[in-house]
Amino acid sequence: MHQVSSPGSIVVLTGAGISKESGLDTFRDHDGLWARVRIEDVATPEGYRRNPQRVQAFYNARRRELSQGSVEPNPAHLALARLEREWPGEVLVVTQNIDDLHERAGTSRLIHMHGELLKVRCERCARPLPWAADIDESSLCPECERTGTLRPHVVWFGEVPLEMDRILAALEKCSLFVSIGTSGHVYPAAGFVTAVREAGRARTVELNLEPSHGASLFHEVRTGPASELVPAFVEETLSSAAQNANL
H helix count then E strand count, the chain? 9, 9
Work out whether 100 is an interface residue with ligand APR (CB under 6 A): no
Asked if 161 and 111 touch (Cβ cutoff 8 Å), the reply is no
80 annotated among ligand-binding-site residues: no
Asked if 174 and 200 touch (Cβ cutoff 8 Å), the reply is no
Strands (E) located in 16-136 = 91-95, 110-112, 115-122, 128-130
Q: How far apart are CA 242 and CA 247, in angstroms?
A: 9
98 annotated among ligand-binding-site residues: yes
Task: Please select the residue that binds ligand APR; options are 139, 149, 183, 204, rule is CB under 6 A.
Answer: 183
Residue 28 or 173 having the CB closest to ligand APR: 28
Closest residue (Cβ) to ligand APR? Answer: 17
Work out whether 212 is an interface residue with ligand APR (CB under 6 A): yes
Is cis: bond before 73, omega within 30 of 0? no
DSSP bridge pairs for 93? 12, 110
Asked if 108 and 77 touch (Cβ cutoff 8 Å), the reply is no
Binding mask 106-135 for ligand APR (x = CB under 6 A): --------x---------------------
Could you tell me which of 90, 70, 73, 64 has the C-alpha nearest to residue 11? 90
Task: Please select the residue that binds ligand APR; options are 10, 12, 13, 21, rule is CB under 6 A.
Answer: 21
Task: Please select the residue that binds ligand APR; options are 86, 210, 220, 236, rule is CB under 6 A.
Answer: 210
Work out whether 28 is an interface residue with ligand APR (CB under 6 A): yes
Task: Please confirm, yes or no, whether 114 is among the known catalytic residues.
Answer: yes
Q: How far apart are CA 233 and CA 84, in angstroms?
A: 13
Radius of gyration of the chain (CA): 19
136 annotated among ligand-binding-site residues: no
Task: Please select the residue that binds ligand APR; options are 9, 22, 26, 107, rule is CB under 6 A.
Answer: 26
Work out whether 27 is an interface residue with ligand APR (CB under 6 A): yes
Q: Which of residues 72-91 bind ligand APR (CB under 6 A)?
A: none
Binding site for ligand APR (CB under 6 A): 15-17, 20-21, 26-29, 32, 96, 114, 181-183, 185-186, 208-210, 212, 225-226
